[in-house]
Amino acid sequence: MIWHLKSLRCVPSLLIAVAVGAVTAVARDIAVIVPSLSQGSPFGALPINAVSPLALLIMIGSLSANAYPALAKTAVRPLSQMLTTFTLLVMTAAIVSYISTAAILFGNFSLDVIRNAVGYLVLFILAARIVGPGLAVVLPSAYVFASAIFGRNGDGGTHIWAWPVREADTVDSVLFAVALSGVALIAYLRPHSRFLAATRSRFGS
């Protein structure tokens, strides 16, 4: 376990996560303009709180994909458990850093960052079990950009399923994210799930 975390450059990764959390708090009003194919404006905004947790997962996927071949013969515990532990450590560090920085600078913090981080985390861990850590970030990435591109409605708002780009005070988006995460978590925790078995065999894993 310790060798695995060292191979994943755990300490530098945690420092990067702390930095990303702090930057997310400071630059909370910044958004990236993306095309929108739904009704309304031809462009939509992808806020930094929807992008920053995704950037950390891309880093985790890259580090894990490079570390796994070297550790396959030396790791004592299942690699999926080690990846989960590492991912939880990094995302927790980012969330704590974000909350601390936002509370110190602004006196409050937004729940949408936590919602997005937890939602992406569950999707990433589920995908890692199916296609491996190197491609696991594809699932949360696709969901984020689908939300930004297709999630707008005609009155300038967003659909309930596009929770990564919705405001934190929209309770329905939080509930939808929790429900989606719950379904993914149940599928992940069931080692003999027919869905996971069929999907893994399709991807040759």
Residue-wise pLDDT tens digits, 21-53: 999 999 888 887 777 666 555 566 788 888 899
What SS3 string covers 17-78?
HHHHHHHHHHCCCCEEEEECCCCCCCEEEEEHHHHHHHHHHHHHHHHHHHHHHHHCCCCCCC
pLDDT of residue 78: 53
Give the Cα separation of 91 and 96 in Å (integer): 9
Residues of the chain with pLDDT under 50: 70-77, 192, 195-196, 199-200, 202-204
Question: Where are the chain's structural domains?
Answer: 2-203
Give the Cα separation of 205 and 186 in Å (integer): 20
Residue 154: how many CA atoms within 13 Å on its side-chain side? Answer: 0
**Sign, Cα dihedral of 145, 179, 80, 191:** negative
pLDDT of residue 19: 96
pLDDT of residue 33: 77
pLDDT of residue 197: 52
Amino acid making up residue 92: T
Q: Do 136 and 128 touch, CB atoms closer than 8 A?
A: yes
- Tell me the three state secondary structure of residue 18: helix
